[in-house]
Copies of this chain bind each other. A is one copy, B any other.
Amino acid sequence: MKEEDLVYGFGEAVRGINKRGFSYESFCLDDDMHTEQKHSLYGAHNFFMVSGEESFGVFVDYPGRVRFDVGETVSSKFMIIVEEFCFDLYIIEAPTMKEINREFRKLIGRSYIPPKWAFGYQQSRWSYKSEEEVREVATHFREKHIPIDAIYLDIDYMDHFKDFTVSNTNFPNLQQLIEELKQQRINLVPIIDAGVKMEEGYSVYEEGIRNGYFCTDENGEPFVAGVWPGKVHFPDVLNPDARTWFGSQYKSLYDMGIEGFWNDMNEPAMFYSLDGIAQLIESIENVKGKNLDMDTFFQMKDKFANMMNNLTDYQSFYHNVNGVRIRHDKVHNLYGFNMTRAAKEVFDNNYPEKRILLFSRASYIGMHRYAGIWTGDNRSWWSQLLLNIQMMPALNMCGFLYSGADIGGFGDNTTEELIIRWMQFGIFTPLMRNHSAAGTRRQEPYAWEKIDVIRKIIGIRYGLIPYLYSEYMKAVLNNEMLFYPLAFEYPDDSRARGVENQLMVGESIMIAPMYIQNARGRYVYLPEDMLLVRLKSVKEREYSMYKKGDHYIDVPLDEVVLFVRKNHIFFLGNEAESVPELDSENLEIIAWADEDISYQRYDDDGETKKYRASEHYSTIWVEWENNQYDIKVQKDNNTIFKHYDGQNIFHPF
């Protein structure tokens, strides 16, 4: 690598937008400490792009372990280590980063499209443990007028963590609850785990055993791992019959009215294997009464720490792929991929006209066709907010457009300031979900003193949906990115190439999120003239025109800021409390223009699938006429003057 080369990609990975200076290892891993030295997270995204004198993209299609040493060992050397020879290598050449990415995306297929309600605010917690608790959460939101579209069920809704069961004790009338919530325009989204509990009489377990649908150990017996339910088997989702069988299980919940699912623990996560735990207990027994030297002590300690997600365990079970027995570790990164595909294929076959929300924790390149992802068990740390910001364009490069992090942070206690700043960024991510771990401080919007600030921020999200949805859909249909680095838009601007804390969002805006504790302002680099929009709420807005260059801007805790590119059209919708309440026609058009400009807008019903229909497209025009700006909207060659409103249209200096 030359000193000036930049490297982008690797999807779900730690560190900055420019990936130089570290090694990334593709091996889906359940690890909730996303600190700087972690080489693997939940997803395995073997794609990168180099921007330099020569620019190109590389996709290493191999489902086992791949290591990318991007100048970690020797700062000028990029090394790729693939464990076996049986991989496909794609090298994509095109003149710009955007074009390289478009070519790659064409290759790997169109990104998943969720229902439009999935662009609303979503509230989760491990766990809302009963129907009463779920109702209480819904009531808080609706009574306090905090917008929301979905509430999540984490593992405790199940009967003893058995997939596709519902606890009789805590959720005796789930179907009724679903209906009740739907009347409040709130969707209930349950979790589905990978491991199937071993329990006589549990139909999923028994069917799996009867048909040989589980992964097997060396002796051909179903492999036993320890996860939430205790001992489980893993459905062999790489086997097409088993995959269809597992996917069809989702129907029982769908039939109750569930329209969204999140697939978890599908790296697959393993707390221990039967062999592993037995060996560990034995080795500890052996030291009993002996003088414990430090080597032995640390060996024991390490063994315990390494029980979880152990490579030896991943090497000790097998898949049956069309009659061929394949050791798991060689196809490890395809497990979550195929678990999610299982659901998606069954949905597509059974409900071909219905969009269903689906996202996964583990993933591999290509899974973006079936579902979105969330970025797993992050922490309530400021550095994880920055990671969220820097990860979004990398995920988009790999086709994962429907994605987002646990806002506020999953593990550890969050603070009011952190959740406010995280929300201010989260309003731009397609998946906007507040989620937190058991044992941590409550972090729902109504848990805070500054509930008004948070309510307004979520309100701004709903105002953004018309723009976000339009840009999301265009990105999906045209193989573009929703989030992209400044360098992709301004490749010849050497300063833009170094910007790691601002992002382009769609074609019209740039964001400069706040991610530092106690900061009340920040530096922003503008690669061109832009209009700064300050929002205290959708309706409370201020504008100022900024010239290309460096600026320091104040960003109080109660303001969302964004920048509209000069001669680009941005627009906001109304203050709705749920997606169905959005008025998608009456928009406020915001622009700073010194010429006639236009924007092609996409919109649809958010439920059905005729994405390519021309009726979904309209064109917004801002035109200079009689010394004033005029706004018009064209659809199907008809011009409709929605309203005359120059009040948010700014003239050149």
Q: Which of A76, A305, A416, A519 has the most CB of B within 10 A?
A: A416
Please state if B379 and A37 are interface contacts (CB–CB under 8 Å): yes
Please state if A16 and B412 are interface contacts (CB–CB under 8 Å): no
**Given contact pairs A35-B35, A281-B284, A284-B284, A294 touches B228 in the complex (Cβ within 8 A):** yes
A300 CA to B284 CA in the complex, in Å? 12
A290-325 vs B, Cβ < 8 Å mask (1 yes, 0 no) = 011110011011001101000000000000000000
Is residue A410 within 8 Å, beta carbon to beta carbon, of the partner chain? no
Enumerate A374-422 residues with CB–CB distance to B below 8 Å.
379-383, 412-413, 415-418
A279 CA to B415 CA in the complex, in Å? 37
A53-77 vs B, Cβ < 8 Å mask (1 yes, 0 no) = 0000000000000000001101110
Please state if A37 and B291 are interface contacts (CB–CB under 8 Å): no
Is residue A348 within 8 Å, beta carbon to beta carbon, of the partner chain? no
Nearest chain B CB to A498 CB, angstrom units:
6
Contact partner of A383 (CB less than 8 A), chosen from B36, B226, B228, B304, is B36
A35 CA to B32 CA in the complex, in Å? 13
Closest-by-CB residue of B relative to A272 is B297
Is residue A612 within 8 Å, beta carbon to beta carbon, of the partner chain? no
Is residue A231 within 8 Å, beta carbon to beta carbon, of the partner chain? yes
Is residue A639 within 8 Å, beta carbon to beta carbon, of the partner chain? no
Contact partner of A21 (CB less than 8 A), chosen from B291, B307, B417, is B417
Closest-by-CB residue of B relative to A301 is B304
Could you say how many copies of this chain the assembly holds?
2
A382 CA to B523 CA in the complex, in Å? 20
Is residue A88 within 8 Å, beta carbon to beta carbon, of the partner chain? no
Is residue A609 within 8 Å, beta carbon to beta carbon, of the partner chain? no
| Residues of chain B lying within 8 A (CB to CB) of residue A418 | 21
Contact partner of A37 (CB less than 8 A), chosen from B74, B300, B381, B417, is B381
User: Contact size class for A?
Assistant: 35 or more
Is residue A2 within 8 Å, beta carbon to beta carbon, of the partner chain? no
A20 CA to B418 CA in the complex, in Å? 12
Is residue A349 within 8 Å, beta carbon to beta carbon, of the partner chain? no
Please state if A413 and B37 are interface contacts (CB–CB under 8 Å): yes
Is residue A22 within 8 Å, beta carbon to beta carbon, of the partner chain? yes
Is residue A18 within 8 Å, beta carbon to beta carbon, of the partner chain? yes
Contact partner of A520 (CB less than 8 A), chosen from B272, B412, B413, B498, is B498
Nearest chain B CB to A52 CB, angstrom units:
13
Please state if A518 and B21 are interface contacts (CB–CB under 8 Å): yes
Closest-by-CB residue of B relative to A17 is B518
Please state if A380 and B37 are interface contacts (CB–CB under 8 Å): yes
Is residue A15 within 8 Å, beta carbon to beta carbon, of the partner chain? yes
Nearest chain B CB to A427 CB, angstrom units:
21
Please state if A294 and B230 are interface contacts (CB–CB under 8 Å): yes
Enumerate A251-297 residues with CB–CB distance to B below 8 Å.
271-272, 277, 281, 284-285, 287-288, 291-294, 297
Nearest chain B CB to A448 CB, angstrom units:
9
A495 CA to B552 CA in the complex, in Å? 10
A516 CA to B298 CA in the complex, in Å? 34
Is residue A517 within 8 Å, beta carbon to beta carbon, of the partner chain? yes
Closest-by-CB residue of B relative to A523 is B523
A15 CA to B305 CA in the complex, in Å? 27
Nearest chain B CB to A438 CB, angstrom units:
11
Please state if B16 and A517 are interface contacts (CB–CB under 8 Å): yes
Is residue A449 within 8 Å, beta carbon to beta carbon, of the partner chain? yes
Is residue A580 within 8 Å, beta carbon to beta carbon, of the partner chain? no
Please state if A288 and B281 are interface contacts (CB–CB under 8 Å): yes
Which 9 A-B residue pairings sit nearest by Cβ, starting from the closest?
A36-B381, A37-B412, A523-B523, A304-B304, A18-B518, A284-B284, A75-B416, A281-B288, A21-B517
**Pairs A–B under 8 Å by Cβ, sample size 25:** A20-B518, A21-B417, A22-B415, A35-B379, A36-B383, A37-B380, A72-B415, A74-B449, A75-B449, A226-B292, A226-B294, A226-B297, A228-B294, A230-B292, A271-B294, A272-B297, A277-B297, A281-B287, A301-B304, A495-B552, A498-B519, A500-B516, A500-B519, A523-B550, A550-B550
Binding site for B on A (CB under 8 A): 15-16, 18, 20-22, 33, 35-37, 71-72, 74-76, 226-231, 271-272, 277, 281, 284-285, 287-288, 291-294, 297-298, 300-301, 304-305, 307, 379-383, 412-413, 415-418, 449-450, 495, 498, 500, 516-521, 523, 525, 550, 552
User: Known contacts A281-B287, A523-B523; can you find 13 more A-B pairs with CB under 8 A?
Assistant: A20-B517, A21-B417, A36-B383, A75-B415, A75-B450, A229-B294, A230-B293, A271-B294, A277-B297, A284-B285, A285-B288, A305-B305, A523-B552
